Structure 1
């Protein structure tokens, strides 16, 4: 398989991840992951198996976290690859009794490995670049707690605020557009392509 064919196959995996997860197609969603796949998100950090389980439970309980994809840049090195894909995360929930949508823009930074004939996600680390909160009813208003809002990183503070209000435990220190966590992630990606034993240290 040429690097171009590999890149197309990897893009298929990335697109399937978003469609199958957001539609609740859990059996097929499980097929995009490596056996030891790892997922980091604002609200979850752990194995792909556990991520599927908690995502399914949330979906069945009405949690709606949707993903939209943009362009992808893929570096292939033999049976390994790093893919960066522009994306938005959309979540609707109640904030202080008012229905709101948060839109968070960033990238999926994915560590891939080729297993036999198929490309699988070994580690997915979102990079959170910017976000905003919109009220579903434009005539409504809500007062956010500024101290709580600004306690979260600028790239995902509105998403974190909404998720915290919904009962999620949100992780601090995730990669943004710039910063130490982002520099570390890029270094781990380069090392992965060069043959490192592991896909960095998942957050």
Structure 2
């Protein structure tokens, strides 16, 4: 095989990997929002972890909590934008633009929250299959609006200020329906975000998640 042939082979392999990862990311959103829990499980590796505002734990724990929420009417939907994927052998880091949309009653008024951010994913290919090892959303900005535009909504300023600016309205709504919201998630800027980026680079260089640079917990 010539150097040119090797370059072409490597490019084709990289493109296949990127397509497989993008398919996985899109399947995550479609299957989770549709309540297709059995197929949703297939995007994770067995040791996968999810860190959301309202739930941090193993993939199985996240799926269980998602099913419980689904059954009691919790409404959370996702919409995806572009992806940037870094490949390193059998590992990858993917960042995907996304929005989280959640609807619930806030002080007796039906409201929508839309939060814009990125999914920051740690992925690995095992036995020929790409899967999620950890997903950490980055929360960049959000807003809350009454579904009825004529309704008047007044938020508790003291409670709102307890949450980071990137997801404070999402956190406010989630706290109103009984979720214990984590208050130090990565945002557009800050030490939590820088630690996450460093952990991602450690992952690409072969370290385990437990060995990689400290990330927010």
TM-score normalised by the shorter chain: which range applies? over 0.9
Match of 1:162 in 2: 173
- Aligned 8 A contact 2:184 2:216 in 1: no
* Count of aligned positions: 203
Q: Quick one: which of 6, 27, 42 aligns to 1:31? A: 42
- Aligned 8 A contact 1:40 1:202 in 2: no
Superposed CA deviations along residues 19-50 of structure 1, whole A, max 9, x for unmatched, are 00000000000000011000000000000001
TM-score in terms of structure 1 length: 0.98
1:116 aligns with 2:124: no
Looking at CA atoms only, which structure, 1 or 2, has the larger radius of gyration?
Answer: 2
1:70 aligns with 2:50: no
Whole-Å separation in 1 of the counterparts to 2:207 and 2:128: 21
Within 5 Å, which residues of 2 pair with 1:5-154?
A: 5-154=16-165
Structure 1: tracts of 5 or more residues without a match: none
Whole-Å separation in 1 of the counterparts to 2:20 and 2:69: 29
SS in 2 for 1:171: coil
- Describe the shift of the 1:137–1:148 C-alpha distance in structure 2 as closer, same or farther (beyond 3 A): same
Superposed CA deviations along residues 66-86 of structure 1, whole A, max 9, x for unmatched, are 000000000011000000000
Whole-Å separation in 1 of the counterparts to 2:136 and 2:62: 13
TM-score in terms of structure 2 length: 0.92
Name which structure has the greater RCO, CA cutoff 8 Å, separation 6+. 1
1:177 aligns with 2:188: yes
Whole-Å separation in 1 of the counterparts to 2:155 and 2:72: 25
Residue 116 of structure 1 deviates from its aligned partner by 1.1
Residue 197 of structure 1 deviates from its aligned partner by 2.0
Structure 2: tracts of 5 or more residues without a match: 1-11
